[in-house]
């Protein structure tokens, strides 16, 4: 159990009680859950069937990066945020049948592809996007994106560039003017949205399995899903073997979510 905000612990306790009555043991991911819910903390020695995350989409990303998800357990996301794009169900519409399905094992696992960013001193995994941006706000840097073969994809002065997965195409990349990519496709998106000096630059849908390099004229910030920040001037971005698994108790309808949660005020 991993909970995003203090006000979500009341819901978390109701969920834990329901699962407990169904014979499902719940363990805490952090000391925060131990303190606020009174459940024992997972010490890594016992097998876990799934991780339950209660919060917004940002809470899911924090869980992935903070906890590391070492056993690659599937995530049941109960959304309490505004968009809840990754969630199986939102807190507002959480019917008892959803938890009944979890207790009975009546669910499927959906997998999402990820990207790996590698620099000289670190590497990180991104479910949504890798962002490379200048260290000084308002100061443009020269950014070049090339394939491993040496073919240049783009070169320009800008604040930065986003390389997104299909999942991430509905997040920062969308806000920056990129297109939405169906999450059933295996591809990536290169968006040069951050104050490009040239208006001729356009987002590029690029083959997922072809690695690219982002070269900057000076040291830049590198962020994976907005939660991991390092610095570098040459970043290699490639497919990652890791898949993020989500529990689905019902069909995931991507376009319905786009209409109801992203495009309708």
**Looking at the annotation, which residues are catalytic?**
57
107 φ, ψ to 5°? -155, 165
Distance of CA 59 to the CA centre of its chain: 9
Residues in the chain: 265
- Determine if residue 105 is left, alpha or beta; phi over 0 gives left, psi from -120 to 50 gives alpha, anything else beta: left
**Alpha helices for the chain (secondary structure H):** 9-21, 31-37, 57-67, 96-104, 172-175, 254-257
What tokens does 106 get? 């009546």
The DSSP output letter for 91 is G
Query: Which residue reads 């690219």 in tokens?
Result: 212
DSSP line for 115-166: EEEE-SS-EEEESSEEEEEESSTT--EEEEEEETTS-EEEEEEESEEEEE-T
215/59 Cα distance (integer angstroms)? 31
Q: Closest by alpha carbon to 224, among 232, 216, 108?
A: 232
- Around Cβ 11, how many Cβ atoms within 10 Å? 16
- Around Cβ 176, how many Cβ atoms within 10 Å? 18
């Amino acid at each position: 159990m991993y909970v995003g905000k203090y006000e979500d612990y009341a819901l978390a306790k109701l969920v834990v009680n329901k699962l407990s009555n169904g014979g499902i043991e719940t363990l805490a991911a952090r000391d925060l859950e131990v303190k606020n819910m009174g459940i024992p903390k997972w010490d890594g020695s016992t097998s876990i069937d799934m991780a339950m995350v209660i919060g917004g989409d940002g809470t899911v990303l924090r869980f992935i990066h903070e906890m590391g998800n070492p056993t690659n357990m599937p995530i049941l996301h109960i959304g309490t945020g505004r968009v809840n794009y990754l969630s199986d169900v939102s807190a507002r519409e959480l019917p008892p049948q959803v938890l009944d399905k979890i207790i009975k094992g009546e669910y499927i696992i959906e997998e999402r592809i990820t990207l790996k960013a590698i620099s000289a001193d670190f590497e990180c995994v991104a479910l949504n996007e890798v962002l490379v941006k200048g260290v000084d706000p308002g100061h443009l840097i020269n950014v070049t994106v090339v394939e491993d073969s040496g073919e240049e994809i783009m070169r320009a002065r800008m604040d930065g560039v986003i390389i997104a997965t299909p999942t991430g195409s509905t997040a920062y990349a969308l806000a920056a003017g990129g297109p939405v990519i169906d999450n059933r496709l295996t591809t990536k998106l290169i968006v040069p949205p951050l104050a490009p000096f040239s208006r001729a630059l356009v987002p590029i849908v690029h083959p997922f399995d072809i690695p690219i390099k982002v070269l900057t004229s000076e040291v830049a910030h590198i962020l994976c899903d907005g939660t991991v920040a390092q610095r570098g001037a040459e970043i290699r971005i490639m497919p990652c073997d890791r898949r993020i698994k989500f529990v689905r108790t019902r069909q995931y309808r991507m376009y319905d979510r786009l209409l109801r949660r992203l495009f309708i005020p």
